[in-house]
């Protein structure tokens, strides 16, 4: 069964969780390495470099689920390296701290060609936890 790592609007209690909640077989706290930015559009973006910790959830979905199509649409992902991708879909191992497991997941990250622009113009969430950032700052999480 595939796992998906979510770190923004798809997490429990966030604005887009409804898109995946009916497909979820399991949802566990998770973390991975990288840098997390809050974009001015109202949602986060993960850059996979560095050793900072990014917190989110690992969501287990059925193998034959339509979830990847739903997520690809939400994340404006058109295929590997497509010039119009807002996010790239990649595989990355994440840690499930409550179970002391590691699992391979699918996640959506910043395309490499956009990393410098994001790093220079968007807000770095230093603790790597977008949900806490939204709660503390009072930002809305109504965007995609």
Q: Mean pLDDT across the stretch 129-136?
A: 93
Q: What's phi and psi for 122, nearest 5 deg?
A: -110, 170
| Structural domains of the chain, count | 1
143 has a pLDDT exceeding 60: no
Beta strands in 40-114 (DSSP E): 44-47, 53-60, 88-96, 101-109
> Is 39 within a domain?
yes
Would 71 be classed as within a structural domain? yes
Is 65 a member of any domain? yes
- Distance of alpha carbon 90 from alpha carbon 105, whole angstroms: 8
- Rounded CA-CA distance 35/109 in Å is 10
Domain assignment present for residue 53? The answer is yes
pLDDT tens profile 113-126: 999 999 999 999 99
Residue 124, domain member (yes or no): yes
Yes or no: say if 92 and 48 are a contact pair by the CB < 8 Å rule: yes
β-pair partners for 60: 3, 26
CATH number of 54's domain: 3.10.490.10
The pLDDT tens digits for 50-99 are 889 999 999 999 887 788 999 999 999 999 999 999 999 999 999 998 88
- DSSP three-state, residue 137: helix
In a domain, 140, yes or no: no
- Residue 41 domain boundaries: 3-135
Q: Which residues of 70-107 are buried (b: 16+ CB within 10 A; e: fewer)?
A: bbbebbebeeeeeeebbbbbeeeebbbeeeeeebebbb
Residue 59: name the closest of 2, 144, 128 by CA. Answer: 2
DSSP-derived 3-state class of residue 69? helix
What pLDDT does 64 receive? Answer: 76
Query: Which residues have a catalytic role annotated?
Result: 75
- pLDDT > 90: what percent of the chain? 80
Q: Confirm whether 47 is domain-assigned.
A: yes
92 within a domain of the structure (yes/no)? yes
């Amino acid at each position: 069964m595939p796992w998906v790592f979510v770190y923004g609007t798809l997490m429990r209690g966030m604005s887009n969780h409804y898109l995946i909640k009916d497909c979820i077989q399991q949802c566990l706290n998770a973390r991975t390495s990288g840098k997390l930015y809050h974009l001015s559009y109202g949602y986060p973006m993960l850059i996979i470099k560095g050793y900072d910790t990014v917190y989110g959830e690992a969501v287990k979905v059925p193998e034959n689920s339509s979830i990847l199509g739903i997520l690809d649409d939400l994340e404006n992902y058109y295929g590997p390296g497509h010039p119009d991708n807002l996010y790239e879909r990649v595989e990355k191992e994440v840690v499930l701290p409550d179970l002391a497991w590691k699992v391979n997941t699918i996640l959506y990250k910043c395309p490499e060609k956009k990393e410098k622009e994001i790093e220079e113009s968007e807000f770095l969430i230093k603790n790597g936890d977008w949900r806490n950032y939204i709660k503390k700052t009072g930002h809305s999480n109504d965007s995609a």
